[in-house]
Structure formats: structure tokens, C-alpha cells
Amino acid sequence: MSRPYIPSIDMIGPASAGETWAIARLISRAEAGVPEVRSAMGEIYRRAGRAHVIGITGVPGSGKSTMVGKLVRKLRDQGQRVAVVAIDPSSPYSGGSILGDRIRMSDLVMDPHVFIRSMATRGAVGGMAHAALDVVDVLDIGGFDKIIIETVGVGQDEVEIAKSSHTTVVVSAPGLGDEIQAIKAGILEIADIHVVSKCDRSDANRTMTDLKMMLKDGVGQALTRGWVPPVLGTSSLNEEGFDDLVAAFDKHLTALDGPAGEARRAQISAFRLKKATETLMLERLRRDGAFDTYTPRVAARETDPYAAATAIADAFSRI
């Protein structure tokens, strides 16, 4: 016997009361892009805005997931409710994902004040899943104090996290082939906080020194005015450096009071509006068959992609 369908709008109340079943169901609908959930997400967006959203990114092999697990425990020791949105890469063919971050943090799932959700990118670029910020809103009204978004870690496309979080952490690690991995990845400039993980290693000090020198030379530009991104070392093996990292979160949140914070929130809002518009436009174009109409002509070289895209855009503007 199937359970009756509960309208999304009716689950806002239970989700706001911290009911896990309602939070999880709203997240699943937002992730699946169920049209019915959009009116509920609009109301949820209006109620959200209390939580501190922390984005964590960095190159593969830097130990982000292990670090996040230790960080969550430290935040829980302070009595904070913590949610983790772990973005995992998905297959470009099947759309499937390993969702390994959830497996690596499985020891945290028994804590009722910790919520972990893995999400597949499903073709989204920038290291983010399409519905990640809708998920953040649901967790926000669910009463979580800190919401951590851990991105895929693919490299130079990771900049979207800086447009989605209040505090952006870039994780580097010693011995990954380049002296400063963040430069190669093109993400040095988005960091509010730099973390060198695996600082128990002997070559960690060199990586930290190099990062500090580059910041001193003005290579990275802080997104928050008056804020100098600190370079911190952590060791998940020895559980060192996490008190300093949590303290840096609090200091950066304080720095976001006033005009700097308003500018950051405006940036996040503009990013959300852009992404929502793109999603709805692409849905309508697919539904109307615009791509199906022009793809064979582009393939046969009867027209070029730019001319076809112009025709699609012109037709869309007349709708």
C-alpha cells in the first residue's frame, strides 16, 4: 500500500520544526526538480537566511572529506547543529554517482544534530549540483547553525562555490606535484580561508609559507573588504588545527557584518537568480523541442551553432 502524497507546501511546518523526514523529502523533490516543489521552495527561501553557509573546495587528494568529518565533530563539541551537503561527481553517461563522501562520514549519521546529504552533480559545472542551494535553504529552516557545502574538487571550475557561500575555504595539501596547487587550479583568489591539510607532513610548512608569501604579494584578492585570508594548517590524523579553523569561521562571520556582508549576500542572490532563470529557460526549450529542431541542421552543417542559438534565443524572447 503506497503512502499518500504529501504536498510540499504542507511539509514546510514539520521541516521548520526539525523533522528529519520532512527535510529529507523536500530535499529529494528539490534535487529531482519536481515542479510541484517550487512554490514551497519560494516560501522556504523567504524564511531562510539564518545559517552560516561554509563552502569547502580544493583539488582532489587534498583530504577535504576527512577534514570535513573532523570539522563537524569539532562544531558538534561546541553544541552547534551541523549539516553537510557533499557534492559528488556523476557519470556523464548514466548520471549515476558513487556518493563516497556519505560513506566516509558514516560514523556521524547517528548524531541527531548532524545531517549529511550527498548529491550528484548531474552534469552541472563549477563543482556544484543544480539544486545545492535549494537544499541549503531547506536545511536552513530546519534549524542547522552551520551548513557545509563540500564541492567535487575538480580544479579550475570550482569558483561557483564563492558565489554560493558566506565563507569559502580552499584546501591545499603538500606533495601533490606543484608547490601551490591552488594556483594551478585557478582558485586561489576565491578563498576567505586557506587550509593546508595533512600538516603533520614534513613538507607542509613549505606549502604554508608559499601561500602566505603569495597572499602578501597580492595574488589572492579577498572577497570580503578588510579581511586578510588566513593560512591555517590542519591534520586530520592528529586532529590538530581545527580549533583555529572554527575560530576563523567566527571571525569571518563577524567581518561580514555591515556593507561587506550585504555585498556578499547580494552576490549570492544574483547567482541564485541567474541559475534559476537558466534552469527554467532550458526546461522550456527542451519541452518546446527547440534543440531537437536545430541539432540535425547543425550536425549536417546546414547552419552553425551560433546562428542556431541566435534563432532559438530570438524565438524564446517572443514567447
pLDDT in tens, 223-232: 566 788 999 9
Q: Is residue 262 part of a domain?
A: no
What is the model's pLDDT at position 59? 75
Q: Which of 206, 229, 256 is the last residue of a domain?
A: 256
pLDDT in tens, 227-283: 889 999 999 989 999 999 999 999 999 999 888 888 889 989 999 999 888 888 888
How far, in Å, are 14, 117, 254 from residue 143 at the CA level? 11, 15, 20
Q: Is residue 261 part of a domain?
A: no
d(CA 207, CA 188): 13
60 and 137: one domain? yes
d(CA 207, CA 175): 9
Q: Is residue 264 part of a domain?
A: no
Q: Which of 231, 256, 281 is the last residue of a domain?
A: 256
Mean pLDDT, residues 305-317: 90
175 and 287: one domain? no
132 and 281: one domain? no
60 and 177: one domain? yes
pTM, two decimal places = 0.86
Q: Is residue 200 part of a domain?
A: yes
CA atoms within 13 A on the CB side of 53: 26
103 and 17: one domain? no
Q: Which of 47, 65, 83 is the last residue of a domain?
A: 47
209 and 87: one domain? yes
What is the model's pLDDT at position 315? 83
What is the model's pLDDT at position 119? 84
d(CA 48, CA 307): 42
201 and 313: one domain? no
d(CA 81, CA 52): 11
Angle among Cα 121, 222, 227 to the nearest 5 degrees reads: 125
Write out the residue range of the structural domain in which residue 145 sits.
Answer: 48-256
70 and 210: one domain? yes
Whether residue 161 has pLDDT greater than 50: yes
pLDDT interval class at 93 (50, 70, 90): very low
54 and 41: one domain? no
43 and 53: one domain? no
Domain CATH code at residue 221:
3.40.50.300
What is the model's pLDDT at position 230? 92
Averaging pLDDT over each range in 38-47, 91-100, 208-217, which range is the top one?
38-47
How many structural domains compose the chain? 3
Q: In the chain, pLDDT over 70 holds for what percent of residues?
A: 81
55 and 42: one domain? no
Q: Is residue 33 part of a domain?
A: yes
177 and 291: one domain? no
What is the model's pLDDT at position 44? 96
Q: Is residue 290 part of a domain?
A: yes
Pick the closest to residue 157 from 206, 87, 108 (CA basis).
Answer: 87
